Copies of this chain bind each other. A is one copy, B any other.
Amino acid sequence: MPTELAAPEVATRELSYAEAIREALAQAMEADERVFLFGEDVGVYGGAFGVSGDLLQRFGPERVIDTPISELGLAGAAVGAALTGMKPVLEIQFSDFVTLAMEQIVNQAAKIHFMFGGKASVPMVVRLPGGSGTGAAGQHSQSLEAWFAHVPGLKVVQPSTPHDAKGLLLAAIDDPNPVLVFEHKLLYKTKGPVPAEPYRVPIGSAAVRRAGRDITIVAASIMTLRALAAARRLAAEGIETEVVDLRSLRPIDFATIAKSVRKTHRLLIVYEGVKTMGIGAEISAMIAESEVFEFLETPIARLGGADVPIPYNPMLEKASVPQEDDIVAAARRLVLEGIA
Contacts and interface: CB of A to CB of B under 8 A. Distances in A.
Interface in A252-297: 252, 273-274, 276-282, 284-285, 287-291, 293
Given A115-B137, A307-B152, A289 B282 contact: no
A146 interface: yes
B289 A114 contact: no
A150 interface: yes
B147 A150 contact: yes
Contacts of A114: 138, 308-309, 311
B277 A309 contact: no
Interface string A98-119: 0110110011001100110000
A147 B147 contact: yes
A276 B149 contact: yes
A278 B291 CA distance: 21
A189 to B, nearest CB: 26
A286 to B, nearest CB: 8
Given A99-B106, A106-B99, A289 B274 contact: no
13 contacts: A100-B102, A107-B139, A114-B311, A147-B277, A152-B276, A284-B288, A285-B285, A285-B300, A288-B288, A289-B300, A289-B340, A291-B299, A293-B340
A301 interface: yes
A72 interface: yes
Contact of A289 (B152, B153, B284): B284
A54 interface: no
Given A99-B102, A114-B138, A309-B114, A150 B273 contact: yes
Nearest to A143: B150
A209 interface: no
B274 A309 contact: no
A309 B111 contact: yes
Given A100-B72, A301-B289, A139 B111 contact: yes
A81 B273 CA distance: 30
Nearest to A108: B139
Contacts of A339: 291
B150 A277 contact: yes
A151 interface: yes
A154 to B, nearest CB: 11
B150 A290 contact: no
A302 interface: yes
A175 interface: no
Contacts of A289: 284, 299-302, 340
